[in-house]
Chains A and B, each alone.
Chain A
Amino acid sequence: MSKKPDVLNVGIDLGTSRSSISASNGARHVVESYVGWPVDMVARRLVKKPVLFGREALENRPMLDLRRPLEHGLIKEGSERDEQAVQELLRHLISLAGARDGQPIRAVLGVPAEALRTSRQNLRGAVKGVADALMIVSEPFAVSYGIEALLHTMIVDIGAGTTDFCVMRGRYPTEEDQRTLTNAGDSVDEQLATLVRSKHPDARFSIYMVREWKEKWSFVGDPPAPVVVTVQKGAKATPIDITNEMRRACESLLGPIAETMADLLARVDPEYQERVRHNIILAGGGSQIPGLAAGLERVLTEYGGGAVRVVEDPVFAGSNGSLAIALDASEGDWESLAD
């Protein structure tokens, strides 16, 4: 595939929780999808930057107007600040990829399927101008393209705001090939927080702490080790065991995901159902929950069974897939997509 040598092709996975970029120059980066602006002059003086991203934004959140722009898998409509946050985040990712000044950028942007379905025009407007030419695709499609699983495959992309399902039938997925659930990473956080709070009503902790606990110690099935975290009880730091709460919160994903898989499978042509059933691939941050694939296989036995595996390199599977699309697109394709 011949490309103009000075063009930088990038694939971006714009996620609710994390966003990653894979570039044709070999650069790969991931940042948490937080964007924060100093709230006043004092904060600006303290943080010494006009805008902060990812972990740095999270750590300085009391001083920032902090945004997670794709909360619930959607750009909040009518919120110029959230649209601006998306633009800033994309520009930040592209700068991390090492784009040179004036270097033409061609970007393929993978977004939660729900964002694309409900507000594609709005989304396109929000990201206008961040690259010289831009293509937007649904995240599960980007994953399937990257791993060349375009036929008789079901991709389940478990993000923070949504879990997106997509059956690949050898065509660009349409609405009937896709489903979206809001049972995803954030719902696990909320459930875990509720469970811990009901068991330890005097414990003080934030949703950000809960998110960190989940990222470190989540599991489905048998616990690899007891999960003990430290919370404030009054003025005292107190260790508490949240093993059962963690399991219940993580396993809350199993039922809804398996049911949706079964529903989508039922809509596949009967002659291909078995092939799809044994070719279910998990992607996204949620796919990294240890034991999740096995747990889903266990629940799927109620619906006739199935084989579930986790995509290799789940953090970059989406951005790598988007990059593959960018590299495969022809000059003519990119010309038609130029802003």
Chain B
Amino acid sequence: MASSDRLKRRILREAVRENVDVMHGLPRRPLQTAVRLRRPAIQAALLVGLPLLGFFAFNTLSSSAPDRAPWLAAPSAATFSAPRALAPVTASLDIRRIVLDPGHGGNDSGARAAQGIVEKEITLDIARALRALLREEKYEVVTTRDADTFVSLRQRAHLANIERGDLFVSIHVNSVPSRECHAVETYYLGPADDPRAEQLAGKENRDSGYHLADFRRLLESVYVNVRQQESRKLAHVVQKELVAVLGNANPAIRDKGVRSAPFLVLVATESPGILAEVSCLSNDEEARRLAEPAYRQSIARALFLGIHAYADARNRVARLGQAPGSQ
């Protein structure tokens, strides 16, 4: 009887803990028993893996050569076999559910224009308009926030992973020291390819809720992954549409192209993802345009066209069972 009560108490504690985790947006915890069973294997893996991880981290963090992709750089081929990316065809699955991530929110206002417009409001409005457009095309859409609330990057990524989004699109508005900037740029996960991208990633990664150890672990999991290739493709299509649509409304728009940077929200999500800097609030002319609902709708439309074009191509490939680009 006592052991039965103990069992009930333990199971109940697990049930409560799981509920509390859900309330705080945390992912499921790993199986206790499975960990016990696999402990020797894990210990062995740690013995081999930790020095390797340190080696990777050292090379990654200390690399200063701008043309080098430190997280794709494998240790010497004589010592270790180089990691190989998965062929995209192995992940030829339909794209159905899209997670939209309106940047900032709550006490994190993001960039602020002289006119008083704040980034958190712009991104939320664009995300809502984009959601409506995507739903018209029968996509399932999840948003990481639907109100003016603070959601940490960790919570955003957890939500995206729990909801099993097929694509993740984070929406931001740029703000750069030069007030002349009309830049539109789209990022995917990768090493920062210039100091400004690094700075921007650092800014967007603030208040993430992650620790350095988490960051390393997350980075490790994305090296050899189809996710990066797919994210890059999505970024290219979205950037093309952003430039085409917004260029019509504002010929001064500058195509800053597709770039890679280690935005934590992209590192921690499991699906292909991009971070689009859809406009530039530090530019007075852009800020004035962003205050107009029609301009924000154009941005949503451009994002929609890009996402839909990418998803449509992927879905056709999935149905035909061909690798993208093989036609």
Contact = CB atoms under 8 A, between A and B. Distances in A.
B8 A329 contact: no
Closest 8 CB pairs of A and B: A172-B14, A333-B16, A135-B19, A172-B11, A172-B15, A336-B20, A120-B22, A124-B22
A136 B20 CA distance: 10
B32 interface: yes
A170 B32 CA distance: 12
Majority SS of interface residues in chain B?
A: helix
Interface string A53-70: 000000000000000000
B7 A137 contact: no
A121 B155 CA distance: 11
Nearest to B143: A78
Interface stretch (A145-153, A201-209, A260-268, A306-314): A145-153
A25 to B, nearest CB: 22
B163 A119 contact: yes
B256 to A, nearest CB: 34
B7 A170 contact: yes
Contacts of A136: 19, 22
Contacts of A176: 31
B16 A337 contact: yes
A78 B163 contact: no
Nearest to A176: B31
A40 interface: no
Interface in B15-30: 15-16, 18-20, 22-23, 25, 28
8 contacts: A78-B140, A121-B162, A135-B15, A136-B19, A151-B7, A170-B11, A175-B28, A336-B16
A190 interface: no
A171 B14 contact: yes
A121 B22 contact: yes
Interface in B255-276: none
A170 B33 CA distance: 11
B142 interface: yes
Nearest to A338: B23
Contacts of A135: 15-16, 19
A173 to B, nearest CB: 9
B141 interface: yes
A118 interface: yes
B308 to A, nearest CB: 18
B19 A150 contact: no
Interface residues on A, range: 20 to 34
A119 B164 CA distance: 9
A140 to B, nearest CB: 13
Nearest to B11: A172
B7 A337 contact: no
Contact of A325 (B15, B23, B164): B15
A150 B11 contact: yes
A141 interface: yes
Contacts of B7: 150-151, 170
Interface string B21-61: 01101001001110000000000000000000000000000
Contacts of A6: none
B87 interface: no
A198 interface: no
A121 B163 contact: yes
B118 to A, nearest CB: 25
Nearest to B33: A171
Interface string B278-317: 0000000000000000000000000000000000000000
Contact of B12 (A170, A174, A328): A328
A261 B15 CA distance: 24
Interface residues on B, range: 20 to 34
A209 B17 CA distance: 43
Contact of B23 (A124, A141, A171): A124
A271 interface: no
Interface in B139-161: 140-142, 159
B135 A78 contact: yes
B76 interface: no
Interface string A125-152: 0000000000111000100010010110
A101 interface: no
A6 B4 CA distance: 29
Contacts of A222: none
Contacts of A120: 22, 162
Contacts of B159: 121
A226 B135 CA distance: 49
B11 to A, nearest CB: 5
B298 to A, nearest CB: 24
Given A135-B19, A150-B7, A77 B142 contact: yes
Contacts of B15: 135, 137, 141, 172, 325
A175 B31 CA distance: 10
B142 A325 contact: no
A65 to B, nearest CB: 19
Given A171-B14, A336-B20, 12 more contacts: A77-B140, A77-B142, A121-B162, A121-B163, A135-B15, A135-B19, A136-B22, A170-B7, A171-B33, A172-B11, A328-B12, A337-B16
Interface string A269-308: 0000000000000000000000000000000000000000
Contacts of A119: 163
A172 B8 contact: no
A3 B270 CA distance: 43
A337 B23 contact: yes
A176 B11 CA distance: 16
Contacts of B10: 171
Nearest to A334: B16
A243 to B, nearest CB: 42
A120 B163 CA distance: 9
A150 B14 CA distance: 13
Nearest to B97: A77
A172 B10 CA distance: 8
B141 A145 contact: no
B74 to A, nearest CB: 33
